[in-house]
Amino acid sequence: MDVRILVANDDGIYSPGIRALASAARRFGDVRIVAPDVEQSSMGHAITHARPLRIKRTPIEDFDSYRVNGTPADCVALGVDAWGGVDIVLSGINLGYNLGNAIWHSGTVAAAKQATLLGVRGVALSTPTGGAEPDFARLEPFVIEVLDLLLPDMSHQLVNVNLPPKPTGLFWARQSVQHYDGRVVPDEDPMGHKLFWISVRAVEEVEEGTDRWAVRNGLVALTPLRLDLTDHEALARASRQAPAAEREAAR
């Protein structure tokens, strides 16, 4: 049986990024697209639990493709259930980087995470826009190189990939978590009512070895992620400091 590749995104099913990803993916196996009917960027890992979801066949070139009135994670949940035996979920290619702190908000990464929650491998792919549409033809050989590297190797369960506009190679990078400014910028609507914009500019310097550093140096950043958010160092420290009675109870 051929490899079953489910392609999702958070920019919506009509994004040029999802066509570019599906086109690169089809040389590795059977491709099916299941994606949101409208843009769901920055929706994070939200799932829809209080209203029914609808899935509709939608022609995208000659792909077997479907649109869902839900979040990126909903699309993966429905897609994995409906197809059955999905080997890997690819999410993207997002129009905009998902580096460092952006991973927390990203619907693109959430779609890949949702796959992992369901026991299916997940890969998220993103590239910046910078005014014009990304040059997907230029990116294609690197997308293929990434898939060629990740698909056969089962040790890669969840990987976040960011492609600079003109890549020169691949680089395994850590997440540049850090902080962002989080400025709330006031504005006004035509009726004189207050509006606000939230700014998410990173505040720390770019550290060597991080995803941000890699793309700045023209390298495709590959960052393995995990679902376990436990701070294992803090846990070990707290456990050592816990009163003896507590340690006894935990035995």
Residues contributing to the site for Mn ion (CB under 5 A): 10-11, 41, 94
Q: What is the closest distance, in whole angstroms, from the C-beta atom of residue 241 to Mn ion in the complex?
A: 42
Would you say 223 and 160 are in contact if contact means Cβ atoms under 8 Å apart? yes
SS3 218: coil
- On the 0-12 / 13-18 / 19+ scale of CB atoms within 10 A, 166 is exposed
- Which of 170, 162, 166 has the alpha carbon at shortest distance from 137? 166
Would you say 129 and 95 are in contact if contact means Cβ atoms under 8 Å apart? yes
Q: Which residue of the chain is nearest Mn ion when measured via CB?
A: 41
Q: What is the largest CA-CA distance in the chain?
A: 65
Q: Which is nearer to Mn ion, 69 or 217 (CB)?
A: 69
Q: What is the closest distance, in whole angstroms, from the C-beta atom of residue 35 to Mn ion in the complex?
A: 11
Q: Which is nearer to Mn ion, 4 or 223 (CB)?
A: 223
**C-alpha distances out from residue 190 to 187, 194, 195, Å:** 10, 10, 10
Q: Which is nearer to Mn ion, 71 or 94 (CB)?
A: 94
Q: What is the closest distance, in whole angstroms, from the C-beta atom of residue 67 to Mn ion in the complex?
A: 15
Q: What is the closest distance, in whole angstroms, from the C-beta atom of residue 18 to Mn ion in the complex?
A: 10
DSSP-derived secondary structure letter, 47: -
CA distance linking residue 63 with residue 29, whole number of Å = 12
Q: Which is nearer to Mn ion, 129 or 199 (CB)?
A: 129
Q: What is the closest distance, in whole angstroms, from the C-beta atom of residue 82 to Mn ion in the complex?
A: 23
Q: Which is nearer to Mn ion, 126 or 175 (CB)?
A: 126
